[in-house]
């Protein structure tokens, strides 16, 4: 079988022999490893080496796409014939699309791409036994916090990805980079007097050494124990403190409103609001593909545009939207005034689909208040630690009604757990009501947020 370099060279020869306006090759080679422990033993272990190549072509203003995830399976016997067929499939798919002047490919880079700390060269050399040990240690740490009440530990797992990505197009773009990603997660189940509660925690990093397995295990156990003995509270409008992981979940729902595609289609309430104070003056929101703390860090986006830092909200004021090349071109065509350019927000979720507009590392800038200070400022209200049903939130209007649980706070201290309550409101209004911002920014994948104190929110209890 030919190696990936030879496959790319052969594909380029075929593409250059066609009468095409442009083309692009994206190739990803990776290795995945995952292990899950249960009762001190290996419950599941999976290892794989996925490979994938995707083509995009531009022909008479029409774009076409094709892909393969297995050169051996897709090209049985004769790789050259398989590659010919793959190119032909991309050209054929373009024939059923409408021509659009907004389709194009990224230009060649003018200099070297940004160098980011996202590749741990030691990861591939670490023995599997050590990685299996991480999963076992997670389980032990969660259980050790209170062996009498933590009866079960589920999904104590370690996962890693080592990936090499290459992007080549007809404009002379040629880029290759490596990225690694390691993560651990665990779920603890605490039981007492017929009450059963679950606590979950995780950590991830592009490098393996910063991951604190013991801390993650203990934190999952602590969360489960703190939920035991939950009570209901009276229905009212209360001040609410959103823990950073809950705030990040709400931010992930808000993120789509900043995409220029949604704005141009009239599916975002942020349309025509640039320059207005639309959110709390305490909030600044950014998209930054260069920040290594987020999982979406990369030197370029899915099209080859260099990653960048893009403020979309500064002290409550809407400053702009997020673009890939297509929607930037569409904006300029619509207005007749060149100006909008790609903000490096083309994302590839898989070789099985073309790149599309999305956020990179999207986050709220941290404030100066410690979590303890936020609790003191809350005085009397609800600390929200878990929310259910976020998928039901209307992404256009922002209206929501969600089940949740957490802690009742009196005089800035946790008084008792609360459960079987619901919160209702509007996503945009929630971010307008932010009265304090924590200093505890944390990324949960590619979305990050500090804890947020909200003036008031409707809470349904008794």
Please, which pLDDT band fits residue 361 given cuts at 50, 70 and 90?
A: very high
Contacts of 315 (CB under 8 A, 6+ apart): 281, 282, 283, 284
C-beta atoms surrounding 79 within 10 Å:
18
pLDDT, position 336: 73
Please, which pLDDT band fits residue 395 given cuts at 50, 70 and 90?
A: confident
Domain borders along the chain are 1-229, 230-462
pLDDT tens-digit map of 362-386: 999 999 999 999 999 998 999 999 9
Q: Which fold has domain 1-229?
A: PmbA/TldD fold (3.30.2290)
Average pLDDT over residues 298-319: 97
pLDDT, position 120: 97
**Range with the poorest average pLDDT among 153-162, 264-273, 337-346:** 337-346
Contacts of 133 (CB under 8 A, 6+ apart): none
pLDDT tens-digit map of 72-88: 555 555 778 889 999 99
% residues pLDDT > 90 (the chain): 89
Structure tokens at 315: 């002290």
In order, the DSSP letters of 380-426 are SEEEEEEEE-GGGS-TTT-EEEEEEEEEEEETTEEEEEEEEEEEEEE
Contacts of 170 (CB under 8 A, 6+ apart): 15, 20, 22, 23, 24, 105
Residue 313 has pLDDT above 90, yes or no: yes
Structure tokens at 82: 């398989």
Cα angle 110, 116, 122 (rounded to 5 degrees) comes to 135
Greatest Cα pair distance in the chain: 74
pLDDT tens-digit map of 19-39: 999 999 999 999 999 999 999
pLDDT, position 3: 85
Average pLDDT over residues 61-82: 79
Task: For the chain, give the mean pLDDT.
Answer: 94
| Token pair 């409408």 in the structure block, residue | 98
pLDDT, position 1: 46
Burial class (CB in 10 A: 0-12, 13-18, 19+), 350: exposed
Residue 148 has pLDDT above 50, yes or no: yes
């Amino acid at each position: 079988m030919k190696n990936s370099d030879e496959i790319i060279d052969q594909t380029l020869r075929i593409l250059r022999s066609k009468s095409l306006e442009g083309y692009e090759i994206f190739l990803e080679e990776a290795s995945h490893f995952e292990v899950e422990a249960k009762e001190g033993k290996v419950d599941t272990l999976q290892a794989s080496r996925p490979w994938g190549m995707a083509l995009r072509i531009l022909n008479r203003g029409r774009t076409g796409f094709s892909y393969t995830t297995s050169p051996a399976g897709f090209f049985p016997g004769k790789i050259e014939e398989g590659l010919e067929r793959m190119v032909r499939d991309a050209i054929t798919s373009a024939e059923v699309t409408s021509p659009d002047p907004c389709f194009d490919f990224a230009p060649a880079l003018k200099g070297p791409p940004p160098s980011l700390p996202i590749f741990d060269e030691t990861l591939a050399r670490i023995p599997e036994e050590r990685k299996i040990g991480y999963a076992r240690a997670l389980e032990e740490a969660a259980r050790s916090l209170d062996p009498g009440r933590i009866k079960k530990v589920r999904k104590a797992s370690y996962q890693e990805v080592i990936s090499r990505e290459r992007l080549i197009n007809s404009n002379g773009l040629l880029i290759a980079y490596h990225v690694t990603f390691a993560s651990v997660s665990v779920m603890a189940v605490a039981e007492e007097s017929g009450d059963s509660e679950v606590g979950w925690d995780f950590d991830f990093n592009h490098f393996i050494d910063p991951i604190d397995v013991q801390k993650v295990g203990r934190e999952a156990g602590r969360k489960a124990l703190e939920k035991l003995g939950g009570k209901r509270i009276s229905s009212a409008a209360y001040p609410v403190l959103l823990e950073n992981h809950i705030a990040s979940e709400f931010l992930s729902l808000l993120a789509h409103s900043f995409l220029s595609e949604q704005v141009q289609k009239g599916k975002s309430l942020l349309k025509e609001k640039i320059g207005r104070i639309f959110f709390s003056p305490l909030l600044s929101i950014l998209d930054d593909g260069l920040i290594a703390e987020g999982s979406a860090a990369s030197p370029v986006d899915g099209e080859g545009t260099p990653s960048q830092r893009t403020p979309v909200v500064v002290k409550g004021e809407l400053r702009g939207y997020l673009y890939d090349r297509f929607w930037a071109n569409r904006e300029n065509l619509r207005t007749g005034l060149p100006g909008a350019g790609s903000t490096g927000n083309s994302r590839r979720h898989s070789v099985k689909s073309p790149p599309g507009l999305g956020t990179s590392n999207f986050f709220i800038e941290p404030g100066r208040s410690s979590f303890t200070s936020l609790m003191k400022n809350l005085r009397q209200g609800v600390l929200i630690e878990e929310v259910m049903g976020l998928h039901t939130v209307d992404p256009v209007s922002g209206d929501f009604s969600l089940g949740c649980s957490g802690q009742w706070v009196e005089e800035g201290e946790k008084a008792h757990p609360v459960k079987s309550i619901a919160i209702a409101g509007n996503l945009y209004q929630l971010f307008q009501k932010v009265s304090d911002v924590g200093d505890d920014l944390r990324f949960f994948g590619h979305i990050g947020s500090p804890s947020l104190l909200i003036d008031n929110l409707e809470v349904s209890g008794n």
